[in-house]
Chains A and B, each alone.
Chain A
Amino acid sequence: MSRIVIAHLNKIYKSRTGDVPALIDINLDIGDGEFVSVIGPSGCGKSTLLYILGGFIAADGGSILVDGKPVTGPGTDRGIVFQEYALFPWLTVDQNIHYGLEMVGMSRRERDEIVRHLIRTVNLEGFERRFPRELSGGMKQRVAIARTLAYNPHILLLDEPFGALDSQTRESMQDELRRLWLKERKTVVMVTHDVNEAVYLSERVVVMSKRPGRIVEEFKIAVDRAGGREATVLSETFTRIRNEVWLSVRRQVGAAPGGADRNEMAGG
């Protein structure tokens, strides 16, 4: 059974100069435990899609079902990690991770246990009492991920989670995310503009057109990743798929708005 079913989804932004369509007829099924990346030119509406999935903004037509139920607002079944971390700056690292558990109504004792474990998992021991402003970008992102994992949502929504990190940190965070996904098999929807990242982490990559965004192409990523990052990234299959995805995204960047037709002609 599909965990997330998006059908004929539309989103229009109203502005003084008129209506601006952001998403047109989005159809996407995401299976239980699947890792799907959405990639596309900047401003294509991929973050908007994620925000609608999160229940933060409403769609203007179509339906979006999570576990068979329509999305009407935010919920703890869907955890989100924002690009700009969105940590609560007035809370310490410890308190930030505690927050979601406190909302669930868990006892202090249970919370302490989980938070201690998570702090260790994301390598932040010794920083429990620090405020976010005292942390580097990579550390903030680890707190953001730990905070979302703490209350154990079934679905993870990731909005360019590693966008602001330097490439070294980004790679190690990607590897951590991969390990975590292999272990917990959560359903993950990740929005990114990094082709390498999408292909390295996902089972499926969805390419969107320039604004107004529509889904123009999908790639199954059948890559053997058992050999670790180097072996995977250097492998022929990975290189071939990555190039295909890269060309697909490139076509979208160059294409006229609503360039779906042209892309189909190009043979996908």
Chain B
Amino acid sequence: MGTVAQRLIGAAGAPPRWLQSGARFVPVVLALTLWQVIVDLGLVNRDFLPSFSDTVAALAHMIRNGEIGLNLFVSLYRALSGLVIGSFLGIGIGLLMATSARADGFFGPLVATTYSLPKAALVPLFILWFGIGDVTNILTVVLACLLPVIVATYHGVKAVPPVLVWSARAMGTPGPAVLWRILLPAALGSILTGVRIALSFCFVLTISAEMIAAKTGIGKLIFIYGENGAYAFMFGGLMAVVIVAYAADRALVAAMHYILRWDDSLHSVTSYD
């Protein structure tokens, strides 16, 4: 829609929409070009920094031989399982904390003290308990996703105007049903913003955990190529992760725009343009 002013400017000949949305890729293109030029001019040692074109070629090679497909599938499985489990747990705990002083008193200090703990530091411990593989990887992701979702749910529910709960009660909504009939939908915008943060964490933590606690996965792939000094391939694996994570974030934002189409504060759902 846009304001009157925006529409007037638009009518006076602003660049077309495709150009505007394309403009956000300009900094990325610039950075990639700079990368290519620096390597091509020999300003850095090619052995330690592969060029952009070498990286793309390595990625293409790994896509063709199935290395990326297989490991990406495993990593996505771990990342998304962790995200889904962590989000549901986080929503539950957040709801509980926001509606019960006792739960708040119990979980509050735990959340506050573990919030800034780097979850990747727990991986060695998890290896000890659960060995190398899916359990350790997924558990790490769950823990990382849990906290932002708890905090977002808690604040979202706390911010629900009391009159919404009151009118629900006046219309005969039983106490427990207020939770999922009123509090959950009213806090949905905030909750999904928490899930979006968790989404970025889930990729970070999957890759970190796989580097030391897995036999498969993109993280392991990156680690092995790094160890062997095949840096173009290492960068190729990283590039695959970046592309997938970016696409996942765009998909979530699109879903949020649809789910929250009723929300006045929809414009708060932005992308990192």
- Chain A residues numbered 121-178 whose CB sits less than 8 Å from any CB in chain B: 131-133, 147, 151
Q: Is B180 an interface residue (CB 8 A)?
A: no
Consensus secondary structure, chain B interface: helix
The reply to whether B263 and A100 contact each other, CB–CB distance below 8 Å, is no
Contact of B263 among A54, A56, A133, A151 (CB under 8 A): A133
Consensus secondary structure, chain A interface: loop
Given contact pairs A76-B171, A90-B186, A100-B171, A56 touches B166 in the complex (Cβ within 8 A) = yes
- Chain B residues numbered 154-192 whose CB sits less than 8 Å from any CB in chain A: 161-164, 166-173, 182, 185-186, 188
Closest to A74 in B: B169
The reply to whether A100 and B172 contact each other, CB–CB distance below 8 Å, is yes
Q: Is B262 an interface residue (CB 8 A)?
A: yes
Binds B, one of A22-30, A81-89, A187-195, A199-207: A81-89
B residues in contact with A133, CB < 8 Å: 262-264
The reply to whether A131 and B172 contact each other, CB–CB distance below 8 Å, is no
> When chains A and B are docked, how far (Å) is the Cα of A78 from the Cα of B169?
11
Q: Is A198 an interface residue (CB 8 A)?
A: no
Q: Min CB distance, B190 to chain A, in Å? A: 13
The reply to whether A73 and B169 contact each other, CB–CB distance below 8 Å, is yes
Q: Is B17 an interface residue (CB 8 A)?
A: no
The reply to whether A90 and B166 contact each other, CB–CB distance below 8 Å, is no
Q: Min CB distance, B109 to chain A, in Å? A: 23
> When chains A and B are docked, how far (Å) is the Cα of A210 from the Cα of B79?
60
Q: Min CB distance, B21 to chain A, in Å? A: 25
Which residues of A does B touch, CB under 8 Å? 51, 54-56, 73-76, 78-80, 82, 84, 86, 88-91, 99-100, 103-104, 131-133, 147, 151
Which residues of B does A touch, CB under 8 Å? 161-164, 166-173, 182, 185-186, 188, 261-264
